[in-house]
Structure 1
Amino acid sequence: MKKSLYILFLLTLTFASSVSAHTYLESSSPSDGETVTEDRQEIVLKFETPIEKSSSFTLLSEGGEELPVQDIQVNGDTLSGKAAEPLGNGNYTVKWSIIGEDGHLINGEYVFTVAKESAAEENAEPSNEPEEEGRESGSGGPL
């Protein structure tokens, strides 16, 4: 009987700890350390478990200035929002604050980089016009 109670107690502790586990960031777009080379406005964070509707994030520029984020939404385990304008070149920090399924407040952050080609570089395509050709020797011209 004592042995059965002991096993039951251990099983209860094992399952109780897995139920109260915190949720963590599973993936993001852009991801931590990623270099984005195209226009980017949308930020999407996916967590391991559903999160509460009051969860949110902020977007900071390289200089630490908070940038406006619109349409922040929580859908199950996903938190998303859009920067007011396409992000310019530089490093950005996403600071998130969520309330997990277990009711605990969890914070985190990650950094990504935007490195788009400038408009001048995009328009500076090599010329396909042939260069003016000089007369070649022995071309059969008049002597």
Structure 2
Amino acid sequence: MNTYRNLFAFLLTMAALGQAPAWAHAALASADPASNAVLATSPTAITLHFNEKLEGAFSAIKVVDAAGRPLPTGKAVVDVADPKILHVSVPPLATGKYSVRWIAIGHDGHRRTGDYSFSVK
């Protein structure tokens, strides 16, 4: 009986130690401008804050107007000081509604996408 108890304890310990860690995926933590924000003036950039470091070569931000036309922006870049931040400069925006569409690749290699809207008065 003692042998079975020791074997059970050993197998239970090995099962607990042998489990792989759960990998989190990049998730949007906050944005500037924020989702559904109504701005009095045009923003100069879109800044997205994620919960984990990003792979800059594969992450992107696209801004489109209410008609679905993409705006001319530069390439989205990961912040050197904080690799959880992705930002892109935008041209002056006219009054209207805009959508931000993003792709984020975390260090685990998983691709996440999302979108939100804001308006300029």
Where on the TM-score scale, by shorter chain, does this alignment land: which range? 0.7 to 0.9
Q: Letter of the aligned partner of 2:44 in structure 1?
A: Q
Instruction: Give structure 1 stretches of 5+ with no counterpart.
Output: 116-143
Separation of aligned partners in 1, 2:95 and 2:18: 52
* Separation (CA, whole Å) in 2 of partners of 1:99 and 1:53: 8
1:113 & 1:8 partners in 2: Cα distance? 55
Cα offset, 1:5, TM superposition: 2.8
| Matched letter for residue 11 of structure 2 | L
Give the TM-score normalised by structure 2: 0.83
Percent identical: 29
| CA offsets 1:74-101 (integer angstroms, 9 cap, x no match) | 1211110111x21111111111011112
Which residue does 2:105 correspond to in 1? 99
Displacement after TM superposition at 1:3 (Å): 2.5
Among 21, 38, 62, the residue aligned to 1:16: 21
Q: Secondary structure, in 3 states, of the residue corresponding to 2:76?
A: strand
The 2-side partners of 1:94 and 1:11 are apart by: 42
Runs of 4+ in 1 over 3 A off after TM superposition: 10-13
Give the counterpart of 2:11 among 2, 5, 20: 5
Contact 2:60 2:75 survives alignment (8 Å): no
Q: Could you say which structure has the greater relative contact order, defined with CA pairs below 8 angstroms and 6 or more residues apart?
A: 2
Aligned counterpart in structure 1 of residue 36 of structure 2, from 22, 33, 36: 33
Map Cα deviations across residues 43-91 of structure 1 (whole Å, 9 max, x no partner): 00010000001211100001100001125211211110111x2111111
- Residue 21 of structure 2 aligns to a residue in which SS? helix
Corresponding residue to 1:43 among 42, 46, 49: 46
Structure with larger Rg: 1
Q: CA deviation at 1:2?
A: 1.8
Gaps of 5+ in 2: 1-6
TM-score by length of 1: 0.71
Q: How many residues align?
A: 111
SS in 2 for 1:107: strand
In 1, Cα distance between the equivalents of 2:97 and 2:17? 47
